[in-house]
Structure 1
């Protein structure tokens, strides 16, 4: 229990201490008008109160990632909790803050446009393709996962029988509606209520374990286990853990979501609470589910059996009803179901806006919104027929690669403005090495190369990327200064 509370305290301290430092490095301007005011259109650019923007941001970014990822990561033992804390504070929250604030500074632009501005047109085109692919994968994952969980809940608890296909259709119908209506009609109105359910789920589960006679938080584990790989199947911790636990530590998906609330935030001073703070909130959710997975089943072997016989969804179902009973279990389980749904609809909404930006098509007209959204849903519907495990693996890699691109973008921005770029460069180097090593070594998705060779190449290429970004950013900054000087004297 003590180590769990220490991890939570470390995340909260990270928000107040490191979050304030990151905000100072960025340099907010409270007098600068945000896109919510300068580009208000009643559809996507709509001023909303800070608490509402925070809750919507939290629900947008917290899909099944901070639940399924930490459950799968728990198979490595308490080391997963250490990565959640360190990754969340020094990588994930920094990533989310800059993806949101750079969007605020660029009229609510989506991540491909921001990347193009600071890393060049080649990076912009790459990110346009990668972001759309990622968002489609997210949309499909966040249709299949809640559909499966709702189907299981209804069939187990009511005696009625519903098919997985019917639930997929219902969720898709909701996604279509939420994607095209103004942001304040559904997302801004109902998501804060869902946030209350999310809080109940998180606090209720960890509280139930704390007072339980049958279960104790992290019972049987030692402090030293935080630094060891305890996977019962001898799965390598490096680099798989850093791909498996994505949304609870760092997630490129968040970079696609932050611009949604950047278009609704009323003042730059709210950025740390909305963007950095929402990621810390997600980190706490991830810690809770990691602790639940490590505590409820008694051992890593039992946890592994639960995952093998129903995936992480089975862990969620068993823990929710086992700890909170039928009524509390239903509420907690619905809280988990709501997370992917509230992220899935915004995934499709983000992809619509990215496409609209690319084709320079205004989105105030319903017809234009449908032109962008309908093809996305057709492709998404087709992808739901692909095996969920395959989609999840591709999602994990695409997710972290997108995070890498956003971190390098933020690093380039700081370099251009002669600010402390290392707060972004260091996590960018680490995550670049993770992604390259993973794809080179993985036998299913990648090239199946030996781990040592994969790591050496991954490390080397991450350092090459660092040099490239540093050189090109300085060169671009000098070029911009020269052009500005010539314009001034023309």
Structure 2
């Protein structure tokens, strides 16, 4: 219990202390007009109140990540808590805040456009490809995972295929609606269900007489119950609860509905902290109710959704347990919707296809959903592995964008560079060692090759950055935040 409560307390303290430092380092301008106010279009640029934006941001970034990820991360034992707390405060929340605020300063631009501006135009194509891949995988994962949960609550005739079709139907309808109608009306109810169910799970753990695992030297192990090494796997297993590149595709959506820069810390940094709290609770529940081998068998037999079912019913009983499962279901459904909406916008920006009429929306929406439906036939665990690697590559790119932005502004850029460099190395080790990459295994040569490649990337990053810094007179948009709103979008 001490570790769980202590970890949650550290997350809250991190919001006020380190979050305040990050906000000051960025240099907010409370009186600056925002894209939501100046570029209103009744579809994506729509001013909304802070509390509603906060719920939309939380539901957009969460999905099943802060639940499924910590459940699988629990196979490593209490050491999973360390990554959730440290990763969330110094990595994930910084990542989300910087992307959201930089987007706010650039007409609500998505990550590919920001990468083009701050990392160079060639990066736009690379980041577009990765973003499209990531969002397709995210949308598909966030269709299949709630479908398996819904199937457990419905009659036998409601097969997974029927449920998947119904979810896609909801997505298609919502895609055509303005953001304040598609999300602004529904998400507050989804958010209430999520918050209440999470609190209920947490209170049941604390006051239900359960033996909560504590983080002690003896409890720290460098591999999980299946023999999978801690590094780098833990950083890809627990992503959305600690650091996730998917969030970089979602923050710009909320930057288009935000009405003041002073709301940024609460909306972007704060909602990532909230996601970390959710991750802590589900990791603790998984470790306290099941031993490692039982947990592994449940995951292998039915994906982490089987664990969600058991945890909910064991802690809350049939009625409230069902409500808790519904609370988990709303996360991926809401994140899946936002993933496909972001995907449509990113592709539209890339090919310069305005989304101002139904024909153009359908032209992109139908192929996207067709490809995603095909991917639902692929094994969930395989999708999850590819999703997590692509996810963290995007996180690295987003943190390097933030680093370059802070360099140009002559601010402390280490706050973004250090977590970005760490995750870059983890991504390189993962792709060099894993079967989805070069399959060299975890050995000395893998670490050396990854280190050499990582150093080369960093050298290239600083060389190109210094060249841009030497020519800032030709690029006033890189340092001036007082350009007229709408300049970047032109």
TM-score computed with the length of structure 2 as normaliser: 0.95
Residue 268 (structure 1) aligns with: 261
CA contact (8 A) 1:77 1:230 kept: no
Match of 2:405 among 407, 410, 413: 413
Alpha-carbon distance in 1 for matches of 2:437, 2:320: 39
Structure 2 alignment gaps of length 5 or more = 478-490
Change over 3 Å in CA distance of 1:193–1:226 after alignment to 2: farther
Further displaced range: 353-362 or 342-351: 353-362
Alpha-carbon distance in 2 for matches of 1:15, 1:422: 18
- Note if 1:246 corresponds to 2:239: yes
- Note if 1:41 corresponds to 2:37: no
CA deviations 1:372-396 (Å, max 9, x no partner) are: 2221111111111222221111101
Match of 2:179 among 165, 183, 197: 183
How many Å apart are 1:222 and its aligned residue? 5.0
Alpha-carbon distance in 1 for matches of 2:65, 2:251: 16
How many Å apart are 1:456 and its aligned residue? 1.9
Alpha-carbon distance in 2 for matches of 1:422, 1:481: 24
Residue 122 (structure 2) aligns with: 122
Change over 3 Å in CA distance of 1:225–1:115 after alignment to 2: farther
How many Å apart are 1:217 and its aligned residue? 1.8
Alpha-carbon distance in 1 for matches of 2:466, 2:408: 6
Alpha-carbon distance in 2 for matches of 1:85, 1:93: 11
Name the SS for the 2:192 alignment partner: helix
Further displaced range: 307-316 or 112-121: 307-316
Structure 1 stretches of at least 4 aligned residues deviating more than 4 Å after TM superposition: 482-485
1:151-170 aligned at under 5 Å gives the runs 151-155=151-155, 160-170=156-166
Match of 1:426 among 418, 432, 435: 418
1:292-371 aligned at under 5 Å gives the runs 292-297=285-290, 299-371=291-363
Alpha-carbon distance in 2 for matches of 1:68, 1:128: 27
Alpha-carbon distance in 2 for matches of 1:427, 1:9: 22
- Note if 1:74 corresponds to 2:66: no
Alpha-carbon distance in 2 for matches of 1:102, 1:42: 22
Alpha-carbon distance in 2 for matches of 1:126, 1:432: 16
CA contact (8 A) 1:35 1:108 kept: yes
CA contact (8 A) 1:115 1:127 kept: yes
- Note if 1:55 corresponds to 2:55: yes
- Note if 1:110 corresponds to 2:110: yes
Residue 208 (structure 1) aligns with: 204
Alpha-carbon distance in 1 for matches of 2:318, 2:405: 51
Residue 190 (structure 2) aligns with: 194
How many Å apart are 1:445 and its aligned residue? 4.2
Residue 480 (structure 2) aligns with: none
CA deviations 1:355-410 (Å, max 9, x no partner) are: 11112222232222222222111111111122222111110111011111111111
Residue 382 (structure 1) aligns with: 374
- Note if 1:288 corresponds to 2:281: yes
Alpha-carbon distance in 2 for matches of 1:28, 1:372: 36
Alpha-carbon distance in 1 for matches of 2:180, 2:425: 40
Alpha-carbon distance in 2 for matches of 1:225, 1:197: 37
Further displaced range: 57-66 or 352-361: 352-361
Name the SS for the 1:109 alignment partner: coil
How many Å apart are 1:80 and its aligned residue? 0.6
How many Å apart are 1:229 and its aligned residue? 3.0
Residue 373 (structure 1) aligns with: 365
TM-score computed with the length of structure 1 as normaliser: 0.95
Structure 1 alignment gaps of length 5 or more = 486-490
CA contact (8 A) 2:91 2:243 kept: yes
How many residue pairs get aligned? The number is 477
Alpha-carbon distance in 2 for matches of 1:7, 1:441: 31
- RMSD over aligned Cα, in angstroms? 1.5
Change over 3 Å in CA distance of 1:284–1:226 after alignment to 2: farther
How many Å apart are 1:472 and its aligned residue? 1.5
CA deviations 1:419-442 (Å, max 9, x no partner) are: 111001001110000001001011
Alpha-carbon distance in 1 for matches of 2:271, 2:364: 29
